[in-house]
Structure 1
Amino acid sequence: MTLPPARRPAAVLFDCDGVLADSEGLVNRIVAADLTARGWRLSPDQARETFLGMALPDMLPMIEARVGPLPPRWAGELGQAISGALMEGLDPVPGALAALRAVAAAGLPVAVASNSSRIELRAKLGRLGIAGLFGERVFSFEDVAEPKPAPDIYLAAAAACGAAPAACVVVEDSLLGCRAGIAAGCRVLGLTRETDAAVLAAVGAEPFARMEDLPRLLGLQEKAA
């Protein structure tokens, strides 16, 4: 794959699941098991295909159309189950932590913007030991008016970094996330570890295959190990 030319941004805005945290398989197993028990038989792979990149508010109508009204506490209880599992068994995406630390060491502001809930997102960052790199620049779908693919979350992340969206790079791996970054006016790098490069390129993202390549794509001298 031909990699895009390096351009140093004013800030780097990271998605979490599939970019920093290798969490999608674990979360999809929990979601699939819950929905299968409620009558919608899904494998983890089918759950991923159905819900990849979606925030919970957008998932709910789809789920209730298949299984009927959910209990009032369903979302909170599912989030607690996911958070507990993440704290016990979450690994980083290969190369992601070194790439993130190289970006931070180069003096670029970083933020994380995820369609996860606050409790899930904080659990993931805590488990990976990277919460301190982001400080208060952590955004879930609960922090903005509209989740991805709306641009709200990346506009908020750019503002928190004190940078114009056009000067920021978004690092994403899902179609919905890439659409959000493009809509915000950012340059978007689309990780193709589990998503077809053509799908991401079709919405304007620049596909790349390995998180180890990120520092070079950002025009940094430091390279992830």
Structure 2
Amino acid sequence: MTRPSLVIFDCDGVLVDSETVSNRVLADNLARHGLRLSLADTMATFIGRSMVGVRDTALDMGAELPGDWIDLIYAETYAALRAGVEVIAGIPALLDRLDATGIPYCVASNGSAEKMDITLGQTGLAPRFDGRRWSAHELGVAKPDPGLFFHAAAAEGVAPPGCVVVEDSASGAEAAHRAGMRCLGYVPEGHPDRLSAWGATVIRRMDAVAAHIGLGPDQSV
């Protein structure tokens, strides 16, 4: 298998285990605004969307949201994330292997730079992505639009077919498909259909990535 020239990681749910925290805050917030969803339904409905997309979908579903709702939900979410998140199991070892083999990597997220400062900062991952973090908020283009991935690839001087994307959301898998990039869909549990429908190769553990990018099995396992 040909090794990629660049690995592009999503942030939430791929590098850091922040999706449960963020979506619990979202579910509680929406319940206060007339839309009651379980945590599982909230995650299934909103993971991978920009906050503008979350707002618009919630409104369509019957939520009554104030005009400054996006600012308010960000404040609530960031406060919860500052209380602590964990690194996704297997990520430090994977990054070590990429460093050792000279394969560059970056992060491209629909989340804000401030959110990445919080999550990557407190987990010690921030220095590993210094100068290689791309936010939809700053670039003005969000997944499933492929523009975020095109920007990340261009910044590293890599053509799209030379990239592998590691994603956990359908919108990210769709963006990778539209960008002409191979996608590894991280689905640690549950049904992977929403990612595999966009051509993603499903993985259940991060230590499986190495074998899928031509590095062989993770020797630390």
- Does the TM-score normalized on the shorter chain lie above 0.5? yes
Alignment size in residue pairs: 219
CA distance in 1, matches of 2:93, 2:80: 24
Alignment of 1:8-157 (within 5 A): 8-65=3-60, 66-72=62-68, 74-157=69-152
Select which of 162, 173, 180 maps to 1:178. 173
CA distance in 1, matches of 2:129, 2:170: 24
1:163 CA displacement: 0.9
CA distance in 2, matches of 1:81, 1:104: 35
Q: Give the AA of the match of 1:41.
A: R
CA contact (8 A) 1:102 1:222 kept: no
SS at match of 1:139: strand
State the match for 2:212 in structure 1.
Answer: 217
Superposed CA RMSD in Å reads 1.8
Q: Which consecutive unaligned segments of at least 5 residues does structure 1 have?
A: 1-5
> TM-score with structure 2 length normalisation?
0.91
Cα deviations by residue, 1:15-35 (Å, 9 ceiling, x for unpaired): 111211111111111001111
CA contact (8 A) 1:13 1:111 kept: yes
1:203 CA displacement: 1.2
TM-aligned CA distance change 1:224 to 1:112, over 3 Å: farther
Q: Give the AA of the match of 2:49.
A: M
CA distance in 2, matches of 1:150, 1:224: 36
Cα deviations by residue, 1:98-139 (Å, 9 ceiling, x for unpaired): 212321332111110111122112211112211111112111
Q: Which consecutive unaligned segments of at least 5 residues does structure 2 have?
A: none
CA distance in 1, matches of 2:67, 2:116: 23
CA contact (8 A) 1:99 1:224 kept: no
